[in-house]
Amino acid sequence: MHFDNRYATLSPKLFHKQAVKSLPTPMAGHFNTELAKQLQWSDAEQADWINIINGSNLPQEADPLAMVYAGHQFGQWAGQLGDGRGLLIGQVFDQQQKLTDLHLKGIGLTPYSRMGDGRAVLRSVIREYLAGHALHHLHVPSSNAVGFIYSHELQIRRERLEPSAILLRTADSHIRLGHFEWINQYQPDLLQEFAQHCLENYYPDCLNAESPILAMAKQVIDRNAYMIAGWQLVGFAHGVMNTDNLNITGSTLDFGPYGFMERFRPNWINNHSDNQGRYTYQNQPSIAHWNLWVWLNNLIPLANTKLANAHDKEQFKADLATCLEDFEPAFLTYYRSGLAKKMGLPQDDERCFDCGMAFLRILQAEQLDYTSSFRRLTDHAYTALRDDCIDTRAFDDFLSMYHEIRKDADQDSLDIDMQQHNPIYILRNHMAQRAIELAEKDDLSEVERLFTLLSKPFEKQAEIERAEDLAPLPSDQPEVMVSCSS
């Protein structure tokens, strides 16, 4: 690996350096060989991956540190948070010379653990490992993971005693919106230095703008709009979109009580701690907008610095507000474009979005499976779709409009778009649960099968698929609500 630990060059007030608290008698979970190669792991490092993830034989250049940040949780100020069980062990260059964070989760107590034990359980680590892998291959910006290990010797109590685990995850950045909240609240003198670091390392093209901070703000907003559109298009519900769980590069972080939607219910609550439904699938765009508003407010003190180049503070505040106005149109542009591809409709036809909405209304009214219904549309299985509907007239009206829009278009090209944007396989909760239950008995075969299956979600893999991978949730079975405990 080729390290360049740039975050560690910042003020030591922003982190705490410490060693990994390794697991006793670690066992191999799963190793993402392809990702390790992309990150330029040597053959020796790949062979020693268990000890590297366990922190017992980190590369000499590694410089483990726990980040401190703050945040709003469920819309309320939560004060100081931070890496309560994670360490940024370093930053490495991948094969394209892109800087990537290596971050261990489940390493024991840090100064930011609050009331936690600093550990992660095998159940949550498997869910995060597979989710990041799934989103990556669905072409949604996301963190990923090199691998995980686990231990029966160290049992962790959540709702029950569970095996402990450590996950080595990767991301283009672990700098969260909440980092700016912490600095602005507790160390405001560091704000300019920190913003400069973000510009130089993540948005260097903004440095020569008239107002580098405004230029960066526009890009952060745009990238998050793109990510959220990606979530909505694949039916992904994050479940806990606190300001400390969104980063400045617009890539998915922190897989807790997430879920891939089965029946199309936009108001589905997948986090059983979300009593008010704040983080439902349908609310994700507006919550992202709110989180970005909070973040922009923490940039206001930069008004009188060279990074803002503002004439006065009030004008700078107005300019930041104008930046935020770009979120909704950007999100809608990305979402409409993606929906057109999922529907197999020409994007330049004004009727395209209305047709897509008509299809979604049918899925919602009939409580049909989101992923398999789009795949049936891809396969031109119109009769099967119609047979699933009680209100066949609504479906017939939709299908008539659908064929009318497509009739003069290049249907072969549109069908290719559909095949590349409508997955056959998603990570359904029951699939992850089966893998977890087997793994807790030291059978990692289902983790391996799902890892392979989700590597090519748009391709039929009859040789390894199970019937349950494709089966819609039975009509009498409620969706799973997942715990935040991990």
- Please indicate if the annotation marks 176 as binding a ligand: yes
Please check whether residue 404 lies inside any domain of the structure.
Answer: yes
Active site residues: 244
CA distance 2 to 39: 8
| Span 339-398, pLDDT tens digits | 999 999 999 999 999 999 999 999 999 999 999 999 999 999 999 999 999 999 999 999
- Please indicate if the annotation marks 118 as binding a ligand: yes
- Please indicate if the annotation marks 117 as binding a ligand: yes
According to DSSP, the residues that pair with 167 across neighbouring strands are: 105, 148
Please check whether residue 431 lies inside any domain of the structure.
Answer: no
DSSP per position, 367-381: T-BHHHHHHHHHTT-
What is the model's pLDDT at position 219?
99
Closest CA to 72 of 294, 296, 300, 320: 294
The tokens describing 459, both together, are: 């391709």
Summary mean pLDDT of the chain: 96
Helix or strand (DSSP H, E) at 153 = strand 144-157
Count of domains for the chain: 2
Q: How confident is the model at residue 485 (pLDDT cuts 50, 70, 90)?
A: low
What is the model's pLDDT at position 252?
98
> Which of residues 373, 402, 421 is at a domain's end?
421
What is the model's pLDDT at position 394?
97
- Please indicate if the annotation marks 245 as binding a ligand: yes
What is the model's pLDDT at position 480?
75
Cβ contact 152:139 at 8 Å: no
The tokens describing 58, both together, are: 């980190």
> Which of residues 171, 197, 213 is at a domain's end?
171
Helix or strand (DSSP H, E) at 76 = strand 76-80
Q: How confident is the model at residue 473 (pLDDT cuts 50, 70, 90)?
A: confident
Domain encompassing residue 33? 7-171
Report, as an integer, the average pLDDT of 171-190: 98
CA distance 143 to 209: 29
Please check whether residue 365 lies inside any domain of the structure.
Answer: yes
Of residues 159 and 475, more confidence is placed in: 159
Please check whether residue 389 lies inside any domain of the structure.
Answer: yes
What is the model's pLDDT at position 476?
75
Please check whether residue 149 lies inside any domain of the structure.
Answer: yes
What is the model's pLDDT at position 274?
87
Report, as an integer, the average pLDDT of 327-349: 97
Please check whether residue 311 lies inside any domain of the structure.
Answer: no
pLDDT at 486 over 60: no
Q: How confident is the model at residue 4 (pLDDT cuts 50, 70, 90)?
A: very high
Report, as an integer, the average pLDDT of 135-145: 98
Q: How confident is the model at residue 484 (pLDDT cuts 50, 70, 90)?
A: low
Report, as an integer, the average pLDDT of 158-170: 96
- Please indicate if the annotation marks 254 as binding a ligand: yes
Helix or strand (DSSP H, E) at 331 = helix 327-343
What is the model's pLDDT at position 311?
76
- Please indicate if the annotation marks 169 as binding a ligand: yes
Please check whether residue 157 lies inside any domain of the structure.
Answer: yes
- Please indicate if the annotation marks 396 as binding a ligand: no
- Please indicate if the annotation marks 277 as binding a ligand: no
| Longest Cα separation, the chain | 67
> Which of residues 171, 200, 227 is at a domain's end?
171
What is the model's pLDDT at position 138?
99
Instruction: Say which residue the tokens 């993971």 belong to.
Output: 145
CA distance 188 to 70: 13
| Span 121-131, pLDDT tens digits | 999 999 999 99
Please check whether residue 249 lies inside any domain of the structure.
Answer: no
Cβ contact 225:242 at 8 Å: no
Share of the chain above pLDDT 70, in %: 99
- Please indicate if the annotation marks 82 as binding a ligand: yes
| Span 5-59, pLDDT tens digits | 999 999 999 999 999 999 999 999 999 999 999 999 999 999 999 999 999 999 9
